[in-house]
Amino acid sequence: MKAKLARLIKTTEPKQQIETPDDVEQAKWKALGGEILTFEKEWCVRLKEMYPLESMYHDFTYGEARRAVREATHPFFAVDVPTDRVLFMDTETTGLRGSGTSIFLIGFARIHEGHLEMVQYVLPHPAFETAFYYHFLNDIGDEVRFVTYNGKSFDWPQIKTRHTFVKSKVKELPAVGHVDLLHASRRLLKPTLESVSLKAVEAHFGHERVDDLPGFLAPMHYFQYVKEREPDILRPVIEHHHADCLSLVSLYTRLTHLVEGDGLMFGEERAHWLSDLGNEDAALKTYAQLDNPSKLAKMRQAMLLKRTGKIDEALPLFEQVGSIESLTELAKHAEHQTKDIDRAIVYTNRALELVEARRTVLKQTAFRAQRELQHRLARLERKRL
């Protein structure tokens, strides 16, 4: 009877919940403001922070950044989606290359009507990539434009590679476009800076980071975090990544101001860039507005005028440049278009004189140019006979 009563008492007592290591770790993430997202038997962490549009990062408010995104007309910076579909995205990985490299932190800044939203996703365990990508891809939607720093060559290919391992369970990758600010920084700042890393460009504009975790240490922090399951170990990496994303917002704003504005410092570069992108009308308009163009600008303008059938406007510019290349263009025009062989010979001889002057500096290049011009001169002499 006593045994039966003991069993009855035992069955009415509530069962104690056993706290698992996941429970302990998730509680720590929640204490840091993290949100636990689950998928099947996996989970990941989402961190969110909101900033009003009046908030400033470096020299620009997020409201100014929103205007830059909406109003950019330069082909490199212009986007064809609503502002909240433009994601200033960055990742942190366990290495730089190779099939074993994983992304353990991915995030983006996104500008809405009344605020900027900063979102980060943390992979708590290498085996939980399905939950990680499931929630990231669901949150960003079916069509986005990424603003990154080397993301077109690194971050996005890494995402695509890792997606192949989980694509049977998560949605397809979205339709994407890229504004890779590394390429913009190279074009605008490479002559000035030895390095165009994001941190170097920030420092160039007066915003050198203090007490920031070097990027190469991020994998070490992640591996240590996975081993100890202590979120505080990842805090410096998360802060570094957070700063990278917000820096992309500021840098996009600054660079669009440089190329969209009237700054003489970047006027020629803007024209060259438009020409390289195939926007010939805009490039010619920009070249025509330069107050004191260099010989390089005049030469590129002349070649563009020639290519677009405006040779009469190009000829005076070729004369002004007076280089081997421009004199060769004048010689070709005289020979083939106006049939003025004597003038073609004059231009060719002038070009040969420049080649002779260059020989002591650039022997191989000069010899090649000399051979080509001598061949042209011999043909012209035969035509004159």
Q: Mean pLDDT over all residues of the chain?
A: 89
The pLDDT tens digits for 317-328 are 999 999 989 999
Contact 130, 39 (CB under 8 A): yes
pLDDT at 285 over 60: yes
What pLDDT was estimated at residue 38?
97
Contact 307, 281 (CB under 8 A): no
The pLDDT tens digits for 174-213 are 999 999 999 999 988 876 788 999 999 999 889 988 889 9
pLDDT band at 81 (very low <50, low <70, confident <90, very high): very high
What pLDDT was estimated at residue 2?
62
The pLDDT tens digits for 328-349 are 999 999 999 999 999 999 999 9
Higher-confidence residue of 142 and 211: namely 142
Question: At a CB cut-off of 8 Å and minimum separation 6, what does 276 contact?
Answer: none
The pLDDT tens digits for 91-140 are 999 987 656 789 999 999 999 999 999 999 999 999 999 999 999 999 99
Question: At a CB cut-off of 8 Å and minimum separation 6, what does 170 contact?
Answer: 130, 133, 134, 137, 163
What pLDDT was estimated at residue 276?
82
The pLDDT tens digits for 61-73 are 999 999 999 999 8
* Low-confidence winner among 20-34, 40-54, 176-190 (lowest mean pLDDT): 176-190
pLDDT band at 3 (very low <50, low <70, confident <90, very high): low
Range 77-90 average pLDDT: 96
What pLDDT was estimated at residue 264?
42
> What's the CATH fold of domain 21-260?
Nucleotidyltransferase; domain 5 (3.30.420)
> What is the torsion angle, in degrees rounded to the nearest 10, for the CA atoms of residue 183, residue 188, residue 193 and residue 197?
-30
Percent of the chain past pLDDT 70, that is, above it, reads 91
Phi and psi at residue 273, in whole multiples of 5°? Answer: -65, -45
pLDDT band at 360 (very low <50, low <70, confident <90, very high): low
Residue type, 186: R
What pLDDT was estimated at residue 300?
93
Residues 268 and 105: their CA atoms lie apart, in Å, by 39
**What are the residue ranges spanned by the domains of the chain?**
21-260, 322-384
pLDDT at 8 over 80: no
What pLDDT was estimated at residue 265?
45
Hey, how many other C-beta atoms are within 10 angstroms of the C-beta on 220?
12
pLDDT at 172 over 90: yes
Residue type, 250: S
Range 78-99 average pLDDT: 90
Residues 109 and 118: their CA atoms lie apart, in Å, by 4
Contact 327, 343 (CB under 8 A): no
The pLDDT tens digits for 230-278 are 999 999 999 999 999 999 999 999 999 888 765 444 678 778 878 887 8
How would you class 175 by CB atoms within 10 Å of its CB: exposed for 0-12, middle for 13-18, buried for 19 or more? exposed
